[in-house]
């Protein structure tokens, strides 16, 4: 079964373990703070990539990437992609969205509120504090989302 790869906060560092964890993805969503356009190019070699800019993305990345994006992840299943969750300026449930994918905090999280999944894949780039180095895999099964956080340092799931 294919999955959607979720990654964020690479800050110019694309670890080989992140590439390995995302192999087999049908789509990759990057939730910002990319740090270097070459990262998006490398991810594109695995699957199509949709990305938003983060608060540290400047220059070519700022010009290339939108602040937010609505992505069809499966028939009838749309996700909202942004970097900072506090910048969310719509009601995802009212907009018919199944998920909000965000980054910025470097802390992986999966939470469901009002029927909408809020997913932060954590940071796949440089370590911040003592937070884990992670990506996430999201699948659509029977119209419902299933998501797992993958700790790419130990190659296991959290």
Instruction: Name the pTM for this structure.
Output: 0.95
Per-residue confidence (pLDDT) for residue 115, from 0 to 100: 94
User: Distances in Å between the alpha carbon of 43 and those of 7, 59, 89, 157?
Assistant: 10, 20, 28, 21
pLDDT band at 1 (very low <50, low <70, confident <90, very high): low
Per-residue confidence (pLDDT) for residue 121, from 0 to 100: 98
Per-residue confidence (pLDDT) for residue 44, from 0 to 100: 98
Give the tens place of pLDDT for each residue, 73-111: 988 899 999 999 999 999 999 999 999 999 999 999 999
Is 3-157 assigned to CATH 3.60.21.10? yes
Give the tens place of pLDDT for each residue, 105-148: 999 999 999 999 999 999 999 998 889 999 999 999 988 899 99
Cα separation, 77 vs 69, in Å, equals 14
State the chain's mean pLDDT as an integer: 94
Cα separation, 12 vs 113, in Å, equals 32
Evaluate if residue 155 carries a pLDDT over 60: no
Q: How far apart are the first and last CA of the chain?
A: 20
Domain layout of the chain by residue ranges: 3-157
The stretch 14-27 carries a mean pLDDT of: 96
């Amino acid at each position: 079964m294919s999955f959607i790869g979720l990654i964020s906060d690479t800050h110019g560092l694309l670890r080989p373990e992140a590439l390995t964890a995302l192999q087999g993805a049908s789509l990759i969503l990057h939730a910002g703070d990319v740090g270097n356009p070459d990262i998006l190019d490398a991810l594109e070699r695995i699957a199509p990539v949709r990305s938003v800019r983060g608060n540290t993305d400047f220059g070519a990345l700022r010009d290339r990437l939108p602040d937010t994006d609505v992505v069809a992840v499966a028939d009838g299943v749309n996700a909202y992609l942004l970097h900072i969750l506090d910048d969310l300026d719509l009601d995802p449930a009212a907009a018919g969205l199944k998920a909000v994918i965000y980054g910025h905090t470097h802390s992986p999280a999966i939470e469901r509120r009002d029927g909408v999944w809020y997913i932060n894949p954590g940071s796949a780039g440089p370590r911040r504090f003592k937070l884990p180095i992670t990506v996430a895999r999201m699948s659509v099964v029977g119209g419902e989302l299933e998501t797992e956080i993958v700790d790419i340092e130990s190659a296991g799931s959290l």
